[in-house]
């Protein structure tokens, strides 16, 4: 995690500066460097570890979608939860997210899974763990990322009002348990994975509920329609 390779947006850098001085972050940095020196492939690439923060500055955040772990297949992860790079097959959970959006808002399902358009509108797409070893799911859990992403959630919870936190599945709900429900809207439900989507994710209407809340506060709603990529 060299300073030259890491791209971190200035407002987040200021808000999170104390975290980078703590022992857990120094240990995490040493772990990642050792893994790379051992020839292991880590996803996403170093310049994309903080893509979610880079694309959605602190004062632009409207909605937070909490994921768990980056995708561990080639060319999938690029730093946004649930999103994949252009040209990559849409993962099953995202297929179900698109299905729910179509049912909820009547919007067309796009032909790709690249969700940067959401991030650019203020949707912070935050995984709890920001790196993973190739083909080894959850391999970087417990190394310190969870403490760092808890600090991000805490910053948003305490320093802001009127945000929407979307917590799909028990892992995200546990991570968001300290969010102040009096200051923010918390939308919780089953994970959109094929294993659990039929237990209440389908029909949750979280996208229209999020927009209704934002509009009630005089904020611009999110355009959840993911545009097709230009050739």
Active site residues per annotation: 69
* Residue 141 neighbours by CB under 8 Å, 6+ apart: 69, 129
CB-count burial class (<10 Å; 0-12, 13-18, 19+) for 90? middle
**What are φ and ψ of residue 118, in 5° steps?**
-70, -50
Distance, CA of 32 to CA of 20 (rounded, Å): 14
User: How far apart are alpha carbons 100 and 98 in whole angstroms?
Assistant: 5
Residue with tokens 């599945």: 169
Place of tokens 């030259």: 4
- Angle (CA) 132-156-160 rounded to 5° is 165
Q: How far is residue 59 from each of residues 160, 167, 177, 215, 218, measured CA to CA in Å?
A: 9, 21, 22, 17, 15
């Amino acid at each position: 995690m060299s300073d030259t390779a890491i791209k971190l947006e200035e407002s987040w850098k200021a808000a999170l500066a104390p975290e980078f001085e703590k022992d857990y972050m120094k240990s995490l940095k040493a772990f990642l460097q050792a893994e790379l020196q051992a020839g292991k492939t880590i996803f996403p690439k170093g310049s994309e570890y903080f893509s979610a923060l880079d694309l959605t500055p602190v004062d632009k955040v409207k909605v937070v979608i909490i994921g768990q772990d980056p995708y561990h297949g080639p060319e999938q992860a690029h730093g946004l939860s649930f999103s994949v790079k252009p040209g990559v097959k849409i993962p099953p959970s995202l297929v179900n997210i698109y299905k729910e959006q179509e049912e909820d808002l009547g919007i067309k399902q796009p032909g790709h899974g690249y969700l940067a358009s959401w991030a650019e509108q203020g949707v912070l797409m935050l995984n709890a763990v920001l790196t993973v070893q190739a083909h080894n799911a959850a391999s970087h859990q417990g190394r310190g990322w969870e403490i760092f992403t808890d600090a991000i959630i805490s910053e948003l919870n305490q320093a802001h009002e009127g945000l929407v936190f979307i917590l799909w599945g028990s892992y995200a709900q546990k991570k968001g348990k300290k969010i102040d429900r009096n200051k923010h809207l918390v939308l919780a439900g089953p994970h959109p994975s094929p294993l659990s989507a039929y237990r209440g994710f389908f029909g949750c209407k979280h996208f229209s509920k999020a927009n209704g809340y934002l509009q009630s506060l005089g904020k611009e709603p999110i355009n959840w329609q993911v545009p097709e990529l230009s050739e």
